[in-house]
């Protein structure tokens, strides 16, 4: 114990002496006495309530996700819910969903029983549901809030806990800060109020959701289709889709919605169809990575698929793979898919006379300008937010309340998209539908989505983007990330990759009316930019790059040069 920091040693002792901590957990901690570094990592701080909630490695400890840290977070959220609810009519309620990760059902039930212990009705899905369905259900059921147990596309050892407000959006900073304060005021697990399951059910404080909510969600998403009649009557049956849920929650809802709209030629990757907390067929269950599509590509070639679609474990991110001119499968980036969907959606609305004069598209500050240029071509206003769909959701609610703008589409480069006003989080169910619908529509014109993308480049500019990241785990890694950000902030480059730095945007100062965030963006005189940002959900520093070239080859050369020079300094 002598090798532990004072904070870690005190936290370990607190857990070992707490009568509410179960014997199995205490045994696990006793066995770690000879591993001070591991104990330090588990107890040097409390697991931070960061981007929308908790995310961490599963295990015993204050800096791990487990039933105790979930219970403590839920107690803080319950206090927030009760204070926000105030004197509103009826009992407050929170909808809870969970994905296919280890302990997801257990953590979801624990959260429900703590809510029940605070007199808040927990409306719990009995099996896997997607994150976007949770967002939709909060709004659809007029709930006071929501919780989803997921760690998105993190490795198998992780799980997470995200909380939502009454609008169905993840908490934004001023809301999260209040919850964090309430959590920090809980100095003992004895302060966490909790009912047993039988008692919560008997008192009507634990309610199980089911088929009616599923059908409402599916029909609402299908309703966003802009060519449903054409897909159902002619285009859907000839368009071949290969889909993989990557062992997550997307299998049933994605297939259900595609079928509703008329896509009947859907082939599912059998090896990745069933939920699997180990994600055993992939290195990472992340549709941003080409490797995740290895099995889908194999099946695609066997069946002659027009498109391959994959969704992450909680089905809020969608990746698409299309055929290039050589007949090979090419993974679209999040920026490319976003540009294609914006063009398809807005062009169809315009053609049908349904494009509003006050239409708005929302993107994040690290997302390509290509989608913005296309959206402006169709008369839409562009709004930029910080990274995180919660900010896009917040803007959507603002539009809904003021009526000044009509929301059309929101997206971020990390494969998150939403069209339609039914949710306040990114939806891979909807994105799967929209990208397949665009594919089928253009196939009828003799084009692939790759052809469409080349046409968009020729018309709007040769945009190219890249993302690099460095994983730096643990206490030391966090310190390294902070040191790197401080170095770039204090010693900004004057010139990089042959271009002069014309502006440094330091979002920690709260630029453009946005909340303060530790993000640095460097604008270059050739129209390029790059941006450094610590991840809010993983132990990573992320570096984003964007250029606009005279041709695809020119753009490719520019971005490679820019990325090489910046990363050489990041890695120094």
Q: What's the pLDDT score for residue 48?
A: 86
Q: Is the pLDDT assigned to residue 432 strictly greater than 70?
A: yes
Q: What's the pLDDT score for residue 87?
A: 67
Mean pLDDT value across residues 67-88: 92
Q: What's the pLDDT score for residue 270?
A: 98
- Token pair recorded at residue 302: 């066997």
CA 546 to chain centre: 21
- Those residues whose C-beta lies under 8 Å from the C-beta of residue 269, and which sit 6 or more positions away, are 242, 243, 244, 295, 296, 299
Q: Is 75 exposed, middle or buried (0-12, 13-18, 19+ CB in 10 A)?
A: buried
Count of Cβ atoms closer than 10 Å to residue 450 Cβ: 20
Q: Is the pLDDT assigned to residue 233 strictly greater than 60?
A: yes
- Classify 29 as helix, strand or coil: helix
One DSSP character per residue, 105-130 reads HHHHHHHHHHHHHTTPEEEE-SS---
- Those residues whose C-beta lies under 8 Å from the C-beta of residue 227, and which sit 6 or more positions away, are 235, 348, 437, 441
409, 421 contact by CB (below 8 A): no
300, 308 contact by CB (below 8 A): yes
65, 54 contact by CB (below 8 A): yes
Element (H, E) at 7: helix 6-17
- Nearest 10 degrees: CA dihedral of 497, 501, 506, 511? -130
Mean pLDDT value across residues 65-93: 91
pLDDT band at 302 (very low <50, low <70, confident <90, very high): very high
- Token pair recorded at residue 377: 């071509």
The dihedrals phi and psi of 183, each to the nearest 5 degrees, come to -65, -45
Model confidence pLDDT, tens digit, residues 243-270: 999 999 999 999 999 999 999 999 999 9
Q: Is the pLDDT assigned to residue 82 strictly greater than 60?
A: yes
519, 387 contact by CB (below 8 A): yes
One DSSP character per residue, 257-309 reads HHHHHT---EEE-GGGTS--TT-TT-SS--TTSGGGGHHHHHHHHHHT-SEEE
Model confidence pLDDT, tens digit, residues 160-176: 999 999 999 999 888 99
Q: Residues of 483-497 as b/e, b for ≥16 C-beta within 10 angstroms?
A: ebbeebeeeebeebb
- Token pair recorded at residue 221: 């998403």
DSSP structure class, residue 425:
S
Q: What's the pLDDT score for residue 395?
A: 97
The dihedrals phi and psi of 451, each to the nearest 5 degrees, come to -60, -45
Q: Is 89 exposed, middle or buried (0-12, 13-18, 19+ CB in 10 A)?
A: exposed
Q: Is the pLDDT assigned to residue 370 strictly greater than 70?
A: yes
Q: Residues of 259-287 as b/e, b for ≥16 C-beta within 10 angstroms?
A: ebbbbebbbbbebbeebbbebebbebbbb
Model confidence pLDDT, tens digit, residues 458-504: 999 999 999 999 999 888 898 999 999 999 999 999 999 999 999 99
Supply the pTM of this predicted model. 0.95
- Calpha distance 52→478 (Å, rounded): 19
pLDDT band at 1 (very low <50, low <70, confident <90, very high): very low
152 an active-site residue? yes
Half-sphere exposure of 468 (CA within 13 A, CB side): 19
Residue % of the chain over a pLDDT of 70: 99
Closest-CA residue to 258 (of 430, 506, 87, 86): 430
452, 341 contact by CB (below 8 A): no
pLDDT band at 49 (very low <50, low <70, confident <90, very high): confident
Q: Is the pLDDT assigned to residue 2 strictly greater than 70?
A: no
Model confidence pLDDT, tens digit, residues 543-570: 999 999 999 999 999 999 999 999 999 9
Q: Is the pLDDT assigned to residue 405 strictly greater than 80?
A: yes
pLDDT band at 364 (very low <50, low <70, confident <90, very high): very high
Closest-CA residue to 527 (of 552, 498, 553): 498
pLDDT band at 236 (very low <50, low <70, confident <90, very high): very high
Q: Is the pLDDT assigned to residue 336 strictly greater than 60?
A: yes
Catalytic option among 135, 152, 333, 432: 152
- Token pair recorded at residue 386: 């910080």
Count of Cβ atoms closer than 10 Å to residue 481 Cβ: 20
Bridge partners (DSSP) of residue 208 are: 124
Q: Is the pLDDT assigned to residue 51 strictly greater than 80?
A: no
């Amino acid at each position: 114990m002598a090798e532990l920091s004072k904070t870690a040693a005190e936290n370990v002792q607190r857990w070992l002496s707490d009568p509410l901590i179960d014997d199995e957990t205490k045994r696990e901690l006793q066995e770690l006495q000879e591993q001070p570094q591991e104990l330090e990592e588990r107890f040097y701080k409390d697991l931070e309530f960061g981007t929308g909630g908790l995310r961490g490695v599963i295990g015993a400890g204050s800096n791990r996700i487990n039933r105790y840290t979930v219970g403590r977070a839920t107690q803080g959220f319950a206090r927030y819910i009760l204070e926000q609810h105030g004197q509103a009519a009826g009992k407050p309620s929170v909808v809870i969903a969970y994905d296919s990760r280890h302990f997801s059902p257990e953590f979801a039930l624990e959260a429900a029983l703590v809510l029940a212990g605070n007199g808040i009705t927990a409306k719990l899905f009995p099996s896997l549901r997607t994150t976007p369905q949770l967002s939709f259900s909060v709004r659809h059921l007029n709930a006071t809030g929501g919780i989803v147990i997921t760690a998105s596309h993190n490795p198998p050892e992780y799980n997470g806990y995200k909380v939502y407000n009454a609008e169905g959006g993840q908490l934004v900073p001023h809301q999260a800060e209040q919850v964090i304060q309430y959590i920090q005021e809980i100095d003992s697990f004895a302060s966490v109020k909790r009912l047993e399951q039988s008692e919560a059910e008997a008192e009507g404080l634990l309610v199980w959701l089911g088929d009616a909510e599923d059908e409402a969600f599916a029909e609402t998403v299908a309703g966003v289709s802009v060519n449903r009649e054409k897909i159902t009557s002619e285009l859907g049956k000839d368009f071949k889709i290969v889909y993989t849920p990557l062992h997550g929650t997307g299998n049933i809802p994605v297939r259900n919605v595609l079928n509703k709209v008329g896509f009947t030629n859907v082939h599912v990757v059998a090896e990745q169809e069933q939920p699997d907390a180990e994600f055993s067929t992939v290195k990472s269950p992340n549709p941003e990575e080409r490797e995740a599509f290895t099995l889908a590509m194999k099946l695609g070639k066997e069946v002659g698929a027009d498109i391959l679609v994959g969704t992450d474990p909680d089905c809020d991110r969608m990746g698409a793979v299309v055929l290039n001119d050589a007949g090979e499968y090419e993974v679209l980036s999040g920026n490319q898919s976003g540009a294609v969907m914006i063009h398809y959606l807005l062009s169809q609305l315009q053609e049908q006379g349904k494009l509003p004069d006050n239409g708005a598209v929302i993107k994040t500050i690290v997302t390509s300008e290509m989608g913005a240029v296309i959206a402006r071509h169709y008369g839409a206003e562009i709004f930029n937010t910080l990274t995180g769909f919660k900010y896009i959701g917040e803007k959507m609610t603002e539009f809904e309340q003021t009526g000044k703008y009509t929301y059309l589409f929101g997206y971020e480069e990390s494969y998150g998209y939403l069209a339609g006003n039914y949710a306040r989080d990114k939806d891979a169910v909807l994105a799967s539908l929209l990208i397949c619908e665009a594919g089928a529509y253009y196939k009828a014109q003799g084009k692939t989505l790759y052809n469409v993308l080349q046409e968009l480049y020729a018309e709007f500019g040769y945009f190219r983007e890249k993302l690099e990241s460095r994983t730096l785990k643990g206490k030391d890694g966090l310190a390294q990330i902070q040191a790197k950000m401080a170095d770039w902030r204090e010693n900004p480059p004057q010139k990089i990759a042959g271009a002069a730095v014309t502006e440094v945007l330091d979002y920690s100062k709260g630029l453009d009316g946005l909340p303060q965030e530790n993000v640095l963006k460097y604008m270059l005189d050739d129209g390029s930019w790059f941006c450094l940002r610590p991840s809010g959900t993983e132990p990573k520093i992320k570096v984003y790059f964007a250029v606009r070239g005279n041709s695809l080859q020119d753009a490719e050369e520019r971005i490679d040069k820019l990325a090489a020079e910046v990363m050489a300094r990041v890695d120094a």
